[in-house]
Structure 1
Amino acid sequence: MKIKTLTAIGLATVLGATALPVMAASGEGGKGERAAKMFETLDTDGSGTITQAEFEAKAAERFAEVDANGDGLLSPEEMAEASPRKGKFREGGREGVSDDRRAEFAARMVERKDTNGDGLLSVEEIAAREDVFARLDTNGDGALSLEEFEAMRGKHKRR
């Protein structure tokens, strides 16, 4: 798979569907501690930075996990099933995202990015015109520091 392609799917697949459940499962610490745990998950060599290769490897791993039938394409159903915090509602307050909301989000993503009209997303369609890693690497050194990572998390937080 192309480097640019894997990088672009990183934010949606790795941060959204891999690291967030790890962070949510811990249930401990404040925002900074949770970000540090997520960062640690992506920093597979323990160097204190996330390289583009680490980012892409996790993205490819997560894409393969989400691609339940192994056809190299993601259906809205596969994406919704892999969504973080699946089905974690509690009475009296929201803890997660409902099945309907996850399905709606997946359908909108397919609608926006499905350039060939097959109702599925390829890695290339997901990545079209995006270079996520380059946007996150604000100092241009080829690696993400914890500070850059935390800054990204602040910008992409749900409100």
Structure 2
Amino acid sequence: MNAERAFTSAGAAMVSLALAAGIAGCDRHAAPDGEAAAPPAQTETPSTPSATQAPAVSEGVAAQVAMMDKNGDGSIGADEHAAGAGNMFATMDADHDGTVTAAEMDAAQAAFKGDKRMSSADKIKTIDGNADGTLSREEHEAGSQAMFAKMDADGDGRLTPAEMQAGHDKTMGK
């Protein structure tokens, strides 16, 4: 799958989610006898999120979830995460030599509008087992498995969008 097609599919999924959320939020209860419906009660929203609230999910994480969630349950299992990571590695390995350089990762991150809080070189360093400055498929797979385990905060074997966002925020700095 090429980067443009993957991004377009993710964009379509996000639009579908936005439409579903908009429809679900509609007030379908009309007032009796044609009377004007009362506006919904206003609730006060705290100006700062509490420590127990999940982080807001970024467009990038939402796109990742949409691309990886093959069974459509709204969360990512270890198998879905591994498959998504494998597809990402194949996309990043532009010259098909079995390794990903910082330049290749930069190009893929730009195409997918990836998280830029950490440089590609620094991302590679975090999982580059032999410290050669590139990622092999095996290093990427091992890093992906380790990241999945770290992000699975409740240990249920599935990642929610909020768990993915929290993991990205913790790894790349908020």
For normalisation by structure 1, the TM-score amounts to 0.55
Task: Report the CA distance shift for 1:156/1:109 in structure 2 as closer, same or farther (over 3 A).
Answer: closer
RCO greater where, 1 or 2, for CA within 8 Å and sep 6 or more? 1
Deviation at 1:71, TM superposition (A): 1.5
Deviation at 1:37, TM superposition (A): 4.8
> Structure 2: 5+ residue runs without aligned partners?
1-5, 19-55
Q: Is 1:139 matched up with 2:154? A: yes
Task: Compute the RMSD of aligned alpha carbons.
Answer: 4.0
Counterpart for residue 124 of structure 1:
138
Q: Is 1:57 matched up with 2:83? A: yes
CA distance in 1: counterparts of 2:173 and 2:91, whole angstroms: 24
> Structure 1: 5+ residue runs without aligned partners?
1-17, 89-95
> Within 5 A, what are the aligned runs for 1:78-157?
78-84=104-110, 105-109=119-123, 114-116=128-130, 118-126=132-140, 127=142, 131-156=146-171
Structure 2 SS opposite 1:135: helix
Deviation at 1:144, TM superposition (A): 1.4
CA distance in 1: counterparts of 2:143 and 2:85, whole angstroms: 15
Counterpart for residue 4 of structure 1:
none
CA distance in 1: counterparts of 2:88 and 2:144, whole angstroms: 20
Task: Report the CA distance shift for 1:134/1:112 in structure 2 as closer, same or farther (over 3 A).
Answer: closer
Identical aligned residues as a percent? 32
